[in-house]
């Protein structure tokens, strides 16, 4: 599945990073970097948790 970030909504706080650090990393300037865009099926639960935790609804999964 594909991981999508809506950068207009993201406030760069990194709740996603604390749940799925292999995918998300907030940089020193506060911007979010997506480390991988493709998630394996075995990582779905972890990614779904990150999507749910994002306070600004900036994350979504496709496929």
Partner 1 sequence: MVQTRPAYDTVSVGSLEFWAKTPEEREERFRILRDERPVSWQRPAEGSMLPQEDGAGFWAVTRHADIQTVSKNPKDFCSGQGVMIEDVPPDILEAASSFLAMDAPRHTQLRKLVSAAFTPKQVKRIDEQIKDQARRITDELIEVGDCDFVDQVARKLPMWTIYEMCGLPAERRSDAAHAADGMVSWSDEDVRQGKEPAELLNDSLITLINIGIDLAEDRRAHPRDDLMTNLVQAEVDGVKLTDEDIAAFFVLLSVAGNDTTRNTITRTLEALTRFPDQRKILQADYEGTIGVAIEEFVRWASPVMTFKRVATRDVELQGQQIREGDWVVMYYASGNRDERAFADPYTFDVRRTPNQHVGFGGGGPHFCMGNVLAKTQLRALFDQLLHRVPDLQGGEPVQVVGNFVDGVKSMPCTLNL
The verdict on 52 binding partner 1 (CB under 8 A) reads: yes
Give 38 or 57: the residue with its C-beta nearer to ligand SF4.
57
Give 22 or 57: the residue with its C-beta nearer to partner 1.
57
Rounded CA separation 29/52 (Å): 24
The verdict on 20 binding partner 1 (CB under 8 A) reads: no
Helix, strand or coil, per DSSP, at residue 32? strand
Q: How far is the CB of 51 from ligand SF4 (least distance, A)?
A: 9
Handedness of CA 31, 23, 34, 45 (dihedral sign): negative
């Amino acid at each position: 599945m594909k991981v999508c970030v809506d950068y207009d909504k993201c406030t760069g706080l990194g709740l996603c990073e604390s749940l799925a650090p292999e995918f998300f990393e907030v940089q020193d300037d506060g911007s979010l970097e997506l480390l991988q865009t493709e998630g394996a099926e075995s990582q779905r639960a972890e990614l779904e948790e990150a999507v749910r935790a994002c306070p600004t609804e900036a994350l979504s999964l496709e496929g």
